[in-house]
Amino acid sequence: MAGLVFYGLAGLTLLSAMAVVFARSPVYAVLFLILSFFTSAGIFLLLDAEFLAMVLVIVYVGAVAVLFLFVVMMLDVDQKHLEKLRHYPWKSFFKAALRSGVLAGVFLGVFYMAKQLWGDKVVFLSDEGPLTHSFILAAMSFAVAYALYWPLSKWRFLLPSESAETVAWVEGALQFLIFAGVMTYVLFGAPSLEIKKEVFDAGGAPLSTTDALSHLLYSVYVIPFQGVGVILVVAIVAAIALCLRHRPGVRRQDVQHQLKTTKEDVLSLSQPKVGKGVEWTSR
Amino acid sequence: MLDNFLMDLKLVQSELVLLGGGLILLLMTLFPKRSKEFFPLFSVGIILMAFAVLFIPSGSWNSVDGMQGFFASLEASPLSQSFRGYFLALAAFVLLVGGSITIEKEKTAPEGYSLILFSITGGALLLSANDFFVAFVALEMMSLSLYAYVAFWSDGANAKEAAMKYFITGAVSSSFFLMGVAFIYGLTGACQFDEIANLMKLESETFLSSPLWYLGIGFLLAGLGFKMALAPFHLWVPDVYQGASTQSLLLIGVLPKLATLGFSILLLKGPFSLVYEELGVAITFLAVLSMGWGALGALTQRNFRRLMGYSAVANMGFVAIGLLPGDEISLASMNYLLIYSIGFVAVIGLVAYLQNQGLSLETVDDFVYVRQVPEAYRLLLALLMFSLAGVPPLAGFFGKFVVFKHALQHGYTFAVFAGIFVSVVSAAYYLRIIKALYFDALPEGTEGLVAETPLRQSFLVYRLSNLASVGLAAITILFAFVLSFL
């Protein structure tokens, strides 16, 4: 059951992340980004890391993504440039997808063969081993990355280098490494988290990570925690004090002045004579 | 539970007072119509209150015996309590001098003073830290507020350069510090000073043979050296000293140095006590390099502020001599730093005061014009210069004497001879100012040019700045008698 939910969420994350790339309107792209944040928060929940999930939603969705949205709405996006994106080379995409699928299949085949041969002896390769999941996910992400980057190489204007294929390979390999690293960390790190939880578990039900974290933050680390709060105050004061300066010669809006302005201050009526025009008087 | 918490709160009473003062100042931005004297005086009052509150946990000055709190992340030992006392007293002095002098030239904004109070909070917290987490957060609190304060008054290219350089070098030094903490945590698995000290005793063989240990201590010393402006890490000093406003210069020239020096002494006496002996060579290297580089740099400077910057580097070299490992807890370095800091505050304050009178004292040669103001100022400046150079009846001599005595007692002859040599060399640039004060002739046509610009200063400001600079000078001179009893 948990596996089903996980693959559903992961698939949705991947789909919405792809939609971020492919959405023609940048606003839609940011909205898809928010969706992918939500689904990754769901994955965090599955991993019993509900604090991380909430932080992801509050910080990234509530603050960062909304800022993104503001910025995107303020940008003057050139629609004509976007038109070029419409003619996506589907043919080469399918070719590349086929190729990367075969490649991922080869990877997985080699991996399973190794597992069959040495699965009893090497812990990494056993069913509980952390490498299994990370390897499958990494192979999947590699395949997706390869399938995406290959057709991109047809569009030279999007890529910095001439040999676009190399770029695609490099990026795919990078994704592979990143994904493998993250997954290994998550799966290796989880047991140590369990140990930390046991420290604060006073014989009853195991604490959630939020409980464990808050116990730590408000007991052992209360001074650094509050100190960081003071530092944030300092940062806010500094940012406001450094940016809000009333320099002479700088035009700025003065609401009080605007509100107090009357008709007599800004409006003057005159009766111009024919052919003379109105004389300009600056206030 | 609640009793425990209330007991723990006693450890941070002075920090809470400072923090509350800073927040009240922030609220005061809502009511901006206040006299200019109000904010500096309010801040000085807050600091004095924190100073008074500091000794409540013990009931007396020096009888706290390693009281710990907040899960042993803070500790109030006699040593750290006295360091916090020095720190707060010096901070009050600096604010009194700086606030009264800069009141006319710079706009008074409460947020600036609240930044200063936050910075002092960080410094006081750093001195009671018993945990690397607390220490890092406190260090950042102290320095971030100071970066912001330096940038706060940055009008003009020099000032902007100073703000930028101070910020960037400070950030680099913080990362060095953090790297050192990471190495030590990686080796010992502990961040609390007591735990590290215990582990050191239990498994000293493993630790002392590990390169991680020395790498960690090296990074820590480098990070603290940046803040203290010791020699290979001092490159920001001259530019920042030249560009910063008077008030920020007084703050950054005195407070971070004292706090980090106190923290270093506590570190070397606490968790690193077993390797303290072996660090003698490294500290000697830092000391000799700082003294030499600072003195040689100051010799070539014409700009007064830059000269004071290089002289600060040289003086921190003398402080590092006092930090050399010894048998008992030696406070030679703290003594020296206190005497130097008071002299520094007095000199910078006096010069800024004379600049407010309309004198232009940018370069060393400009000091000929000091004879245009009343004679007492010239005498005071000359005495302060003699004190900085270390001429016997004055306080500067006793600072150097105590430091050299400490190093000689523990067999660091090379450092002592280097120090004596450098103090002879460094006398040259202090004497150059005295030469300009007394022996150089005024340039043609400027004899009658007495600064007659009437000062738009309120009575209180006038009295305060006079009182503060004269009082500090008197303390610098009288310190000799206090110390001669040691």
DSSP secondary structure, B178-212, as one string: HHHHHHHHHHHS--BHHHHHHHHHHTHHHHHH-HH
User: pLDDT-based confidence at B471, cuts 50/70/90?
Assistant: low
Cα dist. A193→A50, A132, A188, A189 in Å? 13, 20, 9, 6
Q: How confident is the model over B100-116, as a mean pLDDT?
A: 72
- Write the single-letter amino acid at B478: L
Binary contact (A221, B73; C-beta < 8 A): yes
Shortest CA distance to B368 belongs to which of B353, B384, B388, B382? Answer: B382
Shortest CA distance to B250 belongs to which of B370, B427, B96? Answer: B96
- Please give the angle made by the CA atoms of A35, A36 and A38, to the nearest 5 degrees: 65
- Whether B18 is covered by a domain: the verdict is no
- Whether B290 is covered by a domain: the verdict is yes
- Write the single-letter amino acid at B206: T
Cα separation, B171 vs B241, whole angstroms: 18
pLDDT in tens, B327-365: 666 678 888 898 888 888 888 888 887 887 777 788 888
Cα separation, B233 vs A268, whole angstroms: 66
Binary contact (A230, B73; C-beta < 8 A): no
Binary contact (A241, B74; C-beta < 8 A): no
User: pLDDT-based confidence at B17, cuts 50/70/90?
Assistant: very high
Residue B245 pLDDT > 70: yes
User: pLDDT-based confidence at A110, cuts 50/70/90?
Assistant: confident
Q: Does residue A240 belong to the interface with chain B, where contact is any CB pair within 8 Å?
A: yes
- Whether B316 is covered by a domain: the verdict is yes
In this predicted structure, what is the pLDDT of residue A198? 46
In this predicted structure, what is the pLDDT of residue B34? 67
- Whether B295 is covered by a domain: the verdict is yes
Cα separation, B377 vs B347, whole angstroms: 11
Q: How confident is the model over A24-42, as a mean pLDDT?
A: 87
In this predicted structure, what is the pLDDT of residue B474? 63
Residue B418 pLDDT > 90: yes
Q: Are B44 and B460 in contact (CB under 8 A)?
A: no
Query: What letter does residue B303 receive in the DSSP assignment?
Result: B
User: pLDDT-based confidence at B448, cuts 50/70/90?
Assistant: low
Q: Does residue B121 belong to the interface with chain A, where contact is any CB pair within 8 Å?
A: yes
Residue A97 pLDDT > 70: no
Other C-beta atoms lying within 10 Å of the C-beta of residue A121: 8
Residue B21 pLDDT > 50: yes
Q: How confident is the model over A218-233, as a mean pLDDT?
A: 91
Q: How far is CA B209 from the centre of its chain?
A: 35
In this predicted structure, what is the pLDDT of residue A85? 55
Q: How confident is the model over B171-196, as a mean pLDDT?
A: 90
Per-residue tokens: A282:
């600056």
- Whether B382 is covered by a domain: the verdict is yes
Report the range of poorest mean pLDDT among A91-105, B44-58, B430-444. A91-105
Number of helices (H), then strands (E), in chain B:
19, 2
In this structure, chain A runs to a length of: 283
Task: Report the residue from B70, B115, B122 with minimal CB separation from A238.
Answer: B115
- Whether B265 is covered by a domain: the verdict is no
B422: which residues sit within 8 A by CB, 6+ positions away? Answer: B291, B292, B295, B314, B317
Residue of A nearest to B154 (CA): A242
Residue A109 pLDDT > 80: no
Query: HEC string of B339-351?
Result: HHHHHHHHHHHHH
In this structure, chain B runs to a length of: 486
Q: Are B216 and B190 in contact (CB under 8 A)?
A: no
pLDDT in tens, A233-268: 999 998 888 887 666 677 777 777 788 888 888 887
Binary contact (B151, A242; C-beta < 8 A): yes
Q: How confident is the model over A171-197, as a mean pLDDT?
A: 52
Q: Which domain holds residue B353?
A: 276-486
Q: In which element (H, E) is residue B454 found?
A: none
Q: How confident is the model over B195-214, as a mean pLDDT?
A: 84
- Whether B82 is covered by a domain: the verdict is no
Report the range of poorest mean pLDDT among A33-37, A147-151, A237-241, B135-139. A147-151
Shortest CA distance to A77 belongs to which of A32, A29, A33, A31? Answer: A29
Query: What letter does residue B129 receive in the DSSP assignment?
Result: B
- Among B65-69, B424-428, B475-479, B481-485, which range has the highest average pLDDT? B424-428
In this predicted structure, what is the pLDDT of residue B173? 92
Instruction: Name the B residues in 11-30 with CB < 8 Å from any A CB.
Output: 12, 19, 23, 26
Rg (CA), chain B: 22
Q: How many domains does chain B have?
A: 1
In this predicted structure, what is the pLDDT of residue B260? 95
Say what percent of chain A tops pLDDT 70: 53
Cα separation, B344 vs B308, whole angstroms: 8
Q: Does residue A236 belong to the interface with chain B, where contact is any CB pair within 8 Å?
A: no
In this predicted structure, what is the pLDDT of residue A193? 40
Q: Does residue B312 belong to the interface with chain A, where contact is any CB pair within 8 Å?
A: no
In this predicted structure, what is the pLDDT of residue A91? 65
User: pLDDT-based confidence at B453, cuts 50/70/90?
Assistant: very low
ipTM: 0.87
In this predicted structure, what is the pLDDT of residue A5? 82
Cα separation, A148 vs B280, whole angstroms: 60
Q: A219 contacts in B (CB within 8 Å)?
A: 71
In this predicted structure, what is the pLDDT of residue A246? 64
In this predicted structure, what is the pLDDT of residue B331? 78
Beta strands in B4-123 (DSSP E): 67-69, 74-76
Q: B26 contacts in A (CB within 8 Å)?
A: 233, 237
Task: Tell me what the pLDDT averaged over chain A comes to.
Answer: 72
Q: Are B287 and B243 in contact (CB under 8 A)?
A: no
Residue B30 pLDDT > 80: no
User: pLDDT-based confidence at B139, cuts 50/70/90?
Assistant: very high
Q: B137 contacts in A (CB within 8 Å)?
A: 223-224, 227-228, 231
Task: Report the residue from A224, A235, A240 with minimal CB separation from B137.
Answer: A224
Q: How confident is the model over B478-482, as a mean pLDDT?
A: 51
B200-230 as b/e: b if 16+ CB within 10 A: beeeeeebeebeebbbbbbbbbbbbbbbbbb
Cα separation, B162 vs B85, whole angstroms: 30
Task: Tell me what the pLDDT averaged over chain B comes to.
Answer: 83
Q: In which element (H, E) is residue B76 found?
A: strand B74-76
User: pLDDT-based confidence at B312, cuts 50/70/90?
Assistant: very high
User: pLDDT-based confidence at B47, cuts 50/70/90?
Assistant: very high
Residue A191 pLDDT > 60: no
Q: How confident is the model over A18-26, as a mean pLDDT?
A: 79
Task: Report the residue from A222, A227, A241 with minimal CB separation from B141.
Answer: A227
pLDDT in tens, B49-78: 999 888 765 554 444 556 788 888 888 888
A17: which residues sit within 8 A by CB, 6+ positions away? Answer: A32, A33, A36
Q: How confident is the model over B193-204, as a mean pLDDT?
A: 86
- Whether B139 is covered by a domain: the verdict is no
Say what percent of chain B tops pLDDT 70: 85
